[in-house]
Structure 1
Amino acid sequence: MQVIETLSEGLKRELKVVIPAKDMEAQMNERLADAKDRVRINGFRPGKVPVAHLKKMYGKSIMAELVNEIVRERPTAILTERGEKSATQPEVSMTEDQDEAEKILSAQADFEFTLSYEVIPSFELKSVDGIKVTREVVEIAEDEVTEQIKRIAESARSYEPKKGKAAEGDRVTMDYLGKVDGVPFDGGKDEDAQLVLGSGRFIPGFEEQLVGLKAGDEKVITVTFPADYPATNLAGKEATFDITVKEVAAPGEVEINDELASKLGVESAEKLKEIVRGQIEGQYGSVTRQKLKRQILDQLDGLYQFETPSRLVDAEFDNIWRQINTDLAQSGKTFEDEDTTEEKAREEYRKLAERRVRLGLVLSEIGEKAGIEVSEDEMQRALYDQLRQFPGQEKEIIEFFRKTPGAAASLRAPIFEEKVVDHLLSQIDVTDKVVSKEELMADDEDEASETKSEKKAAPKKKAAKAEAAAEGEEAPAPKKKAAPKKKASEESAE
């Protein structure tokens, strides 16, 4: 086999690989000889089939197998011999000329193919002694735990039927029928639907018109669906609802005691407080962790500047750009609405992609030098986390990860990255600082979500989300009321 370098430009490499026809034929003959004792052909005794006959019958198919094996296995060996690591799977190019291909399969022409790839850039790891980060810590007050429990307790609140008129906070049980232009619409009907007045579960204006009604009352109310309502056939339209009130119930008192804990499936009120405190600590801890990681990444970004493989950057940019355009489409906005242009946005998000790729290579090198590995148990836990998110689809997800190239790497990468961050935290100067929850949760986009070079041109909200996604972090979602999801009919009324 002969390997000729035909391109070495920056990180780009191109190799011409030539395997002489006589070597291909020799490998084919070895396989034919091995098959001679096993193949069964009518008219020949076992082991007595002439090799020339086998070659005539199976030569081309064996050569095709050899070609596939070489293309699948040799690139890795070639790069290893050269001491190179490819940033992505090398591209293999072979002849598309049918006559030439026939000659190769007949061992009448050398087998040639081209490898195109980009190498992982080489760089020296720098000392992290100068990296200093601040870990913001929130001291959780007892009042916050109590308030959180009260919010949770709303789901277990009891209601007692009352004879009077419905007031805010009461639960109304009703039948309703929705109409647009006097015609009932799909999903606009329900029976024994329950709604707590003031909960904001139904479309604006619906709940307010139920205040003052009592059991047995009937009423026609008029509302207008929001312009951004998910059902486009209803968005922005005026609708009427025929209401029949079946029951009005007043809310019972919410008390944090063992009885409440029992309703929530916990053995005692103290245990409930302990669980809720742990949940709050976990929520704040994830934000603290995200801010710590951002500080580390920003300082590493300042330490390393080297050429990044364009194919990796292209792939990362495509992911970010796809998310940006999805967000714009969903919000009905344009780049001009975000005080920028598509050209400027592309330039800025390209920088985000380059930053992400560069930092990914740095973290990978740090982790490799530190001997960091992801265990099978950790991979299994990550897979189980995926399965829990999609109940009922476990078999399909397992098959996806088993059969899809690179899918397992998508589970491994974030685990590996977090373990590298843990390693760095053990090496650098970390100062704890007690802050309020408001300070911790402050959405300072200019400082927390954008690098210094990105502040001027990138649209703030989209840049924050894009960089968070690019760095394996989740950007905070805007607050909005959640619609009830109990029944399809109820969703339409909402």
Structure 2
Amino acid sequence: MQVIETLADGLKRELKVVIPAKDMQARMNERLADAKDKVKINGFRPGKVPVAHLKKMYGKSIMAELVNELVRDKPTEILSERGEKSATQPEVAMTEDEAEAEKILSAEADFEFTLAYEVIPAIELKDVSGIKITREVVDIAEDEVTEQIMRIAESARTFEDKTGAAENGDRVTIDYLGKVDGEAFDGGKDEDAELVLGSNRFIPGFEEQLVGASTGDEKTINVTFPAEYPAANLAGKDATFDIKVKSVAAPGAVEINDELATKLGVESAEKLKEIVRGQIESQYGSMTRQKVKRQMLDQLDEMYQFDTPQRLVDAEFENIWRQINTDLEQAGKTFADEETTEEEARVEYRKLAERRVRLGLVLSEIGEKAGVTVTDEEMQRSLFDQLRQFPGQEKQIIDYFQKTPGAAASLRAPLFEEKVVDHLLSEVSVTDKTVSKEELMADDEDGNDKPAKTSAKKKSAAKADAAEGEETAEAAAPKKKAASKKKATDDSAAE
């Protein structure tokens, strides 16, 4: 076999691989000799079939198998011998001329193919002891724990029917029908909907107009959907809602005690406080981790500058660009609304893609040199986390990860990265700084991987950078979006 380098431009490589016809013939003869003792052909005793006859019957199919095997196996072998790592799967090209292909399958011509790929650049690791990290931490006050418990307790609050006018804090049970320009709209109707006045679950102006209503009242209220309402067909529109008040109930008292804890499925008030405090610590801990990681990546980005494989950058850019366009579409906005153009945005987000790829390669090299590994148990836990997010779809998800090439790597990559960050934190200077929760939650809008110019665009960039899940914009019913937000808040606190 002969390997000839035909291109070496930056990270790009192209190789011409030639396997002489005589070598292909020898490989085929080995297969034919092996098949001779196994194949059964009418008219011949076992093991007595002439090789020439076998070649006539099966030669081309055996040669086709050899070609496929060589194309599958040789690229890895060749790159290993050259001491190179390909950034992506090498592209293999063979002749498309039928006459040439026929000669190759007949072992009358050399088998040639080309490999085109980009190498992962050699990265010389640098001393990280000079990296300084400020880790922001929050002291959790008892009042915050109590406040969180009280919010959770709202889900367990009891209500008793009352006579007279509804007040803020009362729960009303209503039927409603929403209309825009006199026409009912999808999702604008509900029956026996329960609404606590003052909870701000419905669109602005809706709840306020129900204060003073009594059981049996029927009324029409006028509201305006917010301009940023997620349903584009309703955003900014005036609407009316025909309301029938079916009952009014006053709230019972809420106290943090063992009875409340039992209602929430916890054995005691002290245990409830312990759980809630732990959840708050976890939430703040995630924010702290994100900021620490950002500082780490920013400083690594300054330390390492090298050419990145463009195919990796292209793939990363496409992921980011798809997210950005999805965000704009869901918000009903254009690049012009964000005070930029599509061309300018492409340039900015390509820089972000290059940064991501470069830092990914650096972290990979650091992890490899440090012996960082991801265990099967950690992979299993990550898979279970995926399954919990999609109840009822467990089989499809497992099949996907078992049968889709590269799917397992998508589970491994974030685990590996976090372990590399942990390794780095053990080698750099980390100083804890106590901050308020407001300071901790403040976005670092000047981060190097948030290239956007406007605040709205920065939000999109942050989403792309953090690889956050999409937020589904629920349309129509005035309660839905706010209600879903409240549920998410309560669920996260009460799990």
| TM superposition score normalised by structure 2 | 0.90
- Deviation per residue, 1:383-414 (Å, 9 max, x gap): 11111111111111111111222111111111
Amino acid in the other structure paired with 1:338: E
Structure 1 residues 23, 85: closer, same or farther in 2, change over 3 A? Answer: same
The alignment status of 1:294 with 2:294, answered yes or no, reads yes
- Deviation per residue, 1:148-190 (Å, 9 max, x gap): 1111111111111101111222111123344556555554443
Structure 1 residues 153, 444: closer, same or farther in 2, change over 3 A? Answer: same
- Aligned residue in 2 for 1:53: 53
Structure 1 residues 342, 237: closer, same or farther in 2, change over 3 A? Answer: closer
SS in 2 for 1:152: helix
The Cα of 1:333 is off from its aligned counterpart by 3.0
Structure 2 gap ranges (5+): 475-479, 486-495
Amino acid in the other structure paired with 1:246: K
The Cα of 1:49 is off from its aligned counterpart by 2.5
- Aligned residue in 2 for 1:428: 428
Structure 1 residues 235, 45: closer, same or farther in 2, change over 3 A? Answer: farther
The alignment status of 1:31 with 2:26, answered yes or no, reads no
Structure 1 residues 333, 177: closer, same or farther in 2, change over 3 A? Answer: closer
- Aligned residue in 2 for 1:271: 271
- Aligned residue in 2 for 1:128: 128
Deviates more, 1:211-220 or 1:369-378: 211-220
**Within 5 A, what are the aligned runs for 1:66-465?**
66-179=66-179, 184-226=184-226, 229-230=229-230, 238-446=238-446, 449-450=447-448, 458-463=453-458, 465=460
Tell me how far apart the structure 2 counterparts of residues 86 and 329 of structure 1 sit (CA, whole Å): 36
Tell me how far apart the structure 2 counterparts of residues 259 and 99 of structure 1 sit (CA, whole Å): 85
Contact in 1 for aligned 2:169/2:196 (Cα 8 Å)? yes
- Deviation per residue, 1:177-217 (Å, 9 max, x gap): 44556555554443322122222333343323322221222
Amino acid in the other structure paired with 1:254: V
What is the percentage of aligned positions where both structures have the same residue? 78
Tell me how far apart the structure 2 counterparts of residues 60 and 10 of structure 1 sit (CA, whole Å): 40
- Aligned residue in 1 for 2:491: none
Amino acid in the other structure paired with 1:252: G
Contact in 2 for aligned 1:445/1:461 (Cα 8 Å)? no
Tell me how far apart the structure 2 counterparts of residues 463 and 115 of structure 1 sit (CA, whole Å): 41
Structure 1 residues 37, 362: closer, same or farther in 2, change over 3 A? Answer: same
Structure 1 residues 381, 475: closer, same or farther in 2, change over 3 A? Answer: closer
- Deviation per residue, 1:333-383 (Å, 9 max, x gap): 333333333333222222222211111111111111111100001111111
- Deviation per residue, 1:396-451 (Å, 9 max, x gap): 111111122211111111111111111111111111111111111122312xx336
SS in 2 for 1:398: helix
Tell me how far apart the structure 2 counterparts of residues 353 and 186 of structure 1 sit (CA, whole Å): 40
Tell me how far apart the structure 2 counterparts of residues 324 and 416 of structure 1 sit (CA, whole Å): 26
Tell me how far apart the structure 2 counterparts of residues 224 and 464 of structure 1 sit (CA, whole Å): 26
Contact in 2 for aligned 1:138/1:437 (Cα 8 Å)? yes
Structure 1 residues 245, 337: closer, same or farther in 2, change over 3 A? Answer: closer
Tell me how far apart the structure 2 counterparts of residues 399 and 475 of structure 1 sit (CA, whole Å): 22
Tell me how far apart the structure 1 counterparts of residues 132 and 241 of structure 2 sit (CA, whole Å): 61
The Cα of 1:239 is off from its aligned counterpart by 4.5
Contact in 1 for aligned 2:298/2:448 (Cα 8 Å)? no
Contact in 2 for aligned 1:450/1:467 (Cα 8 Å)? no
- Aligned residue in 2 for 1:491: none
The Cα of 1:24 is off from its aligned counterpart by 1.6
- Aligned residue in 1 for 2:489: none
Amino acid in the other structure paired with 1:484: A
Structure 1 residues 463, 84: closer, same or farther in 2, change over 3 A? Answer: farther
- Deviation per residue, 1:459-489 (Å, 9 max, x gap): 454346435644x565999x99934369xxx
The Cα of 1:309 is off from its aligned counterpart by 1.1
Contact in 2 for aligned 1:32/1:51 (Cα 8 Å)? yes
- Deviation per residue, 1:212-256 (Å, 9 max, x gap): 221222223344445555555655555544433221111111111
The Cα of 1:119 is off from its aligned counterpart by 0.8
Tell me how far apart the structure 2 counterparts of residues 240 and 342 of structure 1 sit (CA, whole Å): 39
Tell me how far apart the structure 2 counterparts of residues 415 and 363 of structure 1 sit (CA, whole Å): 12
SS in 2 for 1:58: helix
Contact in 1 for aligned 2:161/2:247 (Cα 8 Å)? yes
Tell me how far apart the structure 2 counterparts of residues 43 and 237 of structure 1 sit (CA, whole Å): 86
SS in 2 for 1:482: helix
Deviates more, 1:5-14 or 1:174-183: 174-183
Structure 1 gap ranges (5+): 487-494
SS in 1 for 2:481: coil
Structure 1 residues 307, 141: closer, same or farther in 2, change over 3 A? Answer: same
RMSD, aligned CA: 2.7
Tell me how far apart the structure 2 counterparts of residues 48 and 343 of structure 1 sit (CA, whole Å): 71
Contact in 2 for aligned 1:172/1:194 (Cα 8 Å)? yes
Structure 1 residues 475, 391: closer, same or farther in 2, change over 3 A? Answer: closer
The Cα of 1:41 is off from its aligned counterpart by 2.7
Tell me how far apart the structure 1 counterparts of residues 348 and 239 of structure 2 sit (CA, whole Å): 45
Structure 1 residues 440, 332: closer, same or farther in 2, change over 3 A? Answer: same
Structure 1 residues 384, 331: closer, same or farther in 2, change over 3 A? Answer: same
SS in 1 for 2:109: coil
The alignment status of 1:18 with 2:15, answered yes or no, reads no
Contact in 2 for aligned 1:465/1:475 (Cα 8 Å)? no
SS in 1 for 2:281: helix
Structure 1 residues 76, 459: closer, same or farther in 2, change over 3 A? Answer: farther
The alignment status of 1:466 with 2:461, answered yes or no, reads yes
Amino acid in the other structure paired with 1:155: S
Tell me how far apart the structure 1 counterparts of residues 341 and 108 of structure 2 sit (CA, whole Å): 58
